[in-house]
């Protein structure tokens, strides 16, 4: 996470929230082994991405996260947030040569940043997910559905709720699964933050109906990933002496099957953000 000196050097609370969001995206990249996902070690199941591309994308998003925090702080509606998100997506695609590196994070993490901006400006004590649901949930649920996104395709074919339903409900997965898994992992290996993030990632894979997996591997691919992640956790997770070798074996297996739990990667960064700024 950001150092105290770095936070204090930032000019506004919105800038600090944006920098924290980018830091969380970079921490997600700096986590290995995350089965099937891009890391600083290798690209996983993504022939079109690497860590440098993801980090460049994350850095490109920082001013847009600041805009979202500022808009949230002044009580903006979903139409304003959506316009900022679309501008962020265009900047991302320009920076990556058309590769979709962070569309899901722009949506989910962006809403949390906007809620944090509102909370900082208003003094409201509600948790960020509750603020998202209360302030923008109806507009999210009733908003336009991108016809060609992976999540929308999974919604139509498999009736998966996806990121939009998760956001409209106030991100229940982050509170019921993400943060508890983070705390449990920290208790197991308090001096190894990368191991903590690996455990958090596997816990999310075990419990999330990831539409990226449904897109790449169908229902069978999702079931395979969830079963493998649950077996990793049941065998002790990062508490076992050979946890890294077992996680690396999963990484190889997922990559060979072209399975990438990209939604879980977004939720990992979002959990870290809640941990950084307060849930």
pLDDT by residue (tens digit) across 43-82?
A: 999 999 999 999 999 999 999 999 999 999 999 999 999 9
3-class DSSP assignment, residue 33: coil
Q: Tell me, what DSSP letter sits at residue 146?
A: P
At 203-247, the pLDDT tens digits run 999 999 999 899 889 999 999 999 999 999 999 999 999 999 999
Of the ranges 99-103, 155-159, 199-203, which one carries the lowest mean pLDDT score? 155-159
Look over the chain and give the mean of its residue pLDDT values, rounded to a whole number: 92
Q: Which single residue is written with the structure tokens 């943060």?
A: 179
Q: In this predicted structure, what is the pLDDT of residue 11?
A: 81
* Segment holding 263, helix H or strand E: helix 262-277
Answer yes or no: is pLDDT of 7 > 70: no
Q: What is the widest separation between alpha-carbon atoms in the chain? A: 50
* pTM given for the model: 0.92
pLDDT, average across residues 153-177: 78
Token reading at 35: 């089965």
Contact 266, 34 (CB under 8 A): no
- Measured between alpha carbons, how far is 69 from 190 in angstroms, rounded to an integer? 31
Q: What are phi and psi of 254, to 5 degrees?
A: -65, -45
Token reading at 259: 């399975």
pLDDT, average across residues 14-19: 97
Contact 105, 167 (CB under 8 A): no
At 42-51, the pLDDT tens digits run 999 999 999 9
């Amino acid at each position: 996470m950001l150092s105290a000196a770095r936070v204090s050097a930032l000019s506004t609370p919105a800038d600090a929230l944006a920098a924290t969001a980018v830091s969380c995206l970079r921490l997600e990249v700096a986590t290995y082994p995350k089965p099937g996902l891009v890391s600083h070690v290798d690209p996983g199941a993504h022939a079109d991405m690497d860590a440098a591309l993801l980090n460049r994308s994350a850095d490109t998003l920082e001013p847009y996260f600041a805009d979202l925090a500022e808009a949230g702080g002044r009580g903006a509606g979903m139409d304003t947030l959506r316009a900022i998100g679309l501008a962020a997506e265009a900047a991302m695609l320009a920076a990556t040569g058309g590769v979709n590196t962070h569309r899901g994070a722009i949506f989910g993490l962006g809403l949390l940043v906007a809620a944090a901006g509102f909370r900082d400006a208003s003094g409201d004590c509600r948790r960020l997910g509750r603020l998202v649901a209360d302030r923008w949930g109806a507009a999210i649920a009733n908003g336009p559905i991108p016809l060609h996104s992976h999540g929308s395709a999974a919604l139509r074919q498999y009736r998966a709720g996806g990121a939009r339903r998760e956001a409209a409900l106030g991100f229940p997965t982050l509170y019921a699964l993400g943060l508890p898994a983070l705390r449990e992992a920290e208790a197991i290996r308090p001096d190894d933050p990368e191991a903590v993030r690996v455990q958090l990632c596997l816990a999310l894979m075990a419990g999330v109906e990831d539409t990226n997996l449904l897109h790449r591997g169908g229902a069978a691919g999702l079931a395979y990933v969830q079963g493998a992640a649950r077996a990793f956790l049941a065998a002790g997770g990062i508490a076992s002496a050979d946890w890294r070798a077992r996680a690396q074996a999963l990484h190889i297996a997922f990559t060979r099957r072209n399975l990438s739990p990209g939604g879980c990667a977004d939720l990992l960064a979002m959990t870290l953000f809640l941990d950084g700024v307060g849930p």
